[in-house]
Structure 1
């Protein structure tokens, strides 16, 4: 057993079946770690290129990626925790750090997803009216505000002992059954400020983008479909990754007042928590690799590696000479393309305009 001495018996001796933590959780953690780590490293590099090109979108992408990476680095600790039948063998400080990284990933990710959606909305719908809000300085200030707000929220919320003893004398981390009284208001705040309000911001932003896309006669039908898929995928992934978890937070706050209900909702609640983990993989796929130019660059890099290994014919190198390097598109260039009915305008605006 762990030598830790929990500060309070938060579980009230509830007998919970933790089998899901020994079966599904390790698979998800390993999958997200193996796929998410390289994907987010590439995403961080892509964000750096955007910043280098003086594109404020790069600041939001880098912050979003850093939040994902911090959580990914905590996954080995959570993996060991679940494989040891939910028995935390480290000290309470590390439990708090890992728990904070988990919640920070959720709400900082949500914050920067909203920033990206609003930035794209302003770029497409109001390219001139709100230019002062689409600068590097403004993006840096907003980023500092988001990080400060979430860190202060964590300092206020996580002042309680976060390790406790369950009925099997295992030291559990960030798990209370049934939930404590102080958690009720916190859960309502998370649902309203951390999910519902950001969802309305995303929906408003992307509805505005879709209206512009629909009214644009110079945009090809194929491009319109591509933009609509990107927008709908973003909203859908937001709902799938964060919706079930926040809904169950409210359900637990309203109905969980005894061990019987806690046992019934345990599995579905932890499945919803695992869904939030997939956000670490979805973010780089949606916001970086969905760009046509970025996809072409990665395809070139992949084929170049294969060519060096002798897996491709020498002739394939010639086809890449026809592709021009990616350059940032200015607002002036945007209008020029717009008035000449170039179909790439809206797609470029969605992936970043400097």
Structure 2
């Protein structure tokens, strides 16, 4: 590419040290932790769908998007270890870049869907029941995927492997920003991030208000719900706010190599933060649920029984049948019953109308 034109050359020469030091650590950590965690999350989401729970549809779609991104990490790991020199073709760069960036907005979309569904379940359990069905969840999921796939067409129309000032073939990196990128970045900030964030905050504000107005709810239960709600917002903001704030700054003011160099490390650190969403999603929306704990216990019991079947049922003694489900009936108020029912499993004790005893 020695005779590259200005059209396919990134003009700035920038120190990419952050890619050779911090990025490999983050990518390896997300691969090692995120892949098995999301596989388990996919299994638990399947159980929710089997129980006719629409939240399982959103959870499975969220997990699939995370797994797609995780599958692209080996390519990005190779890229940064080769000092930001893309050794594959332009098409593979576009696919990996789309998996990286679109995962952000698919995740944002389904997190927003989950927050709205929870709000309707707690504050309006009967009024909007038609929006809390499997069919409605599938329709919304299809719309989110179609929207993001159509957006990704934009990236296929332009060359994304370019040559920087050090003659490296960089992927999805243009410094300074090209004029064509500013419009799509404004769209990503306003439509892909800010609007869903407003919906998420409004939904969780409504959940907290409904919980606080509930008479008879134990203070420990109220605190538990509030911690879950606030932790969701904090993780959302921690993973996505820094990146989109700096994306907006770049789109508004980046016009020179000097500015690009000044903001490069902060921008790419914020981009690395978005990767942790792949680890936070299954932890936040799956493993905090007591119904999930029961399913995990059943899975563990089945594995122990399989491994120790020749030992005379040792696993059955260590994990007796029904121990995870012996919760009995609960005296919790109707508000918590509705909140718990958002994450019922097929065999949970709450499936017949009594509270499940866990928070989703």
TM-score by length of 1: 0.89
- Which deviations, in whole Å up to 9, do the C-alpha atoms of 1:171-196 show, x marking residues without a partner? 00000000100111111111111111
1:289 to 1:20, Cα distance in 2 relative to 1, 3 A: same
- Decide which moves more: 85-94 or 296-305: 296-305
- Decide which moves more: 39-48 or 211-220: 211-220
CA distance in 1, matches of 2:9, 2:246: 20
Give 1:273-352 correspondences, 5 Å limit.
273-299=271-297, 301-302=299-300, 317=318, 321-324=322-325, 341=333, 344-345=336-337, 347-349=339-341, 351=343
1:35 to 1:126, Cα distance in 2 relative to 1, 3 A: same
- Decide which moves more: 314-323 or 132-141: 314-323
Helix, strand or coil at the partner of 1:128:
coil
Q: Which residue of 2 aligns with 1:331?
A: none
Q: Structure with the greater relative contact order (CA < 8 A, sep ≥ 6): 1 or 2?
A: 1
CA distance in 2, matches of 1:314, 1:95: 48
CA distance in 2, matches of 1:123, 1:67: 25
Give 1:118-137 correspondences, 5 Å limit.
118-137=116-135
Contact (CA 8 Å) 1:6, 1:164: kept in 2 or not? Answer: no
CA distance in 2, matches of 1:117, 1:262: 36
**Structure 1: 5+ residue stretches without partners:** 328-335
Contact (CA 8 Å) 2:53, 2:342: kept in 1 or not? Answer: no
Helix, strand or coil at the partner of 2:52:
coil
Contact (CA 8 Å) 1:124, 1:349: kept in 2 or not? Answer: no
What is the Cα deviation at residue 292 of structure 1? 1.1
- Which deviations, in whole Å up to 9, do the C-alpha atoms of 1:187-213 show, x marking residues without a partner? 111111111111110011111111111
Contact (CA 8 Å) 1:28, 1:274: kept in 2 or not? Answer: yes
What is the Cα deviation at residue 347 of structure 1? 4.4
- Decide which moves more: 291-300 or 34-43: 291-300
CA distance in 1, matches of 2:53, 2:327: 13
Q: Which residue of 2 aligns with 1:330?
A: none
- Which deviations, in whole Å up to 9, do the C-alpha atoms of 1:236-257 show, x marking residues without a partner? 1110100000000110011110
CA distance in 2, matches of 1:116, 1:189: 23
Q: Which runs of 4+ in 1 moved over 6 A?
A: 2-7, 313-316
- Decide which moves more: 115-124 or 300-309: 300-309
1:314 to 1:302, Cα distance in 2 relative to 1, 3 A: closer
CA distance in 1, matches of 2:338, 2:294: 18
- Which deviations, in whole Å up to 9, do the C-alpha atoms of 1:39-98 show, x marking residues without a partner? 000000011101111111111111100000000000000000000000000000000000
Give 1:211-222 correspondences, 5 Å limit.
211-222=209-220
What is the Cα deviation at residue 318 of structure 1? 6.1
How many positions carry a matched residue from both structures? 341
Q: Which residue of 2 aligns with 1:39?
A: 37
Contact (CA 8 Å) 1:4, 1:171: kept in 2 or not? Answer: no
Contact (CA 8 Å) 1:7, 1:163: kept in 2 or not? Answer: no
CA distance in 2, matches of 1:343, 1:320: 30
1:288 to 1:86, Cα distance in 2 relative to 1, 3 A: same
Contact (CA 8 Å) 1:124, 1:350: kept in 2 or not? Answer: no
What is the Cα deviation at residue 323 of structure 1? 2.9
CA distance in 1, matches of 2:28, 2:6: 31
- Which deviations, in whole Å up to 9, do the C-alpha atoms of 1:97-137 show, x marking residues without a partner? 00110111100111111111111111111000011111111
- Decide which moves more: 316-325 or 75-84: 316-325
Task: Note the aligned Cα RMSD (angstroms).
Answer: 2.7
Aligned: 1:11 with 2:10:
yes
Helix, strand or coil at the partner of 2:77:
helix
1:46 to 1:6, Cα distance in 2 relative to 1, 3 A: farther
CA distance in 1, matches of 2:60, 2:169: 36
What is the Cα deviation at residue 321 of structure 1? 3.9
1:226 to 1:97, Cα distance in 2 relative to 1, 3 A: same
TM-score by length of 2: 0.87
Give 1:94-133 correspondences, 5 Å limit.
94-133=92-131
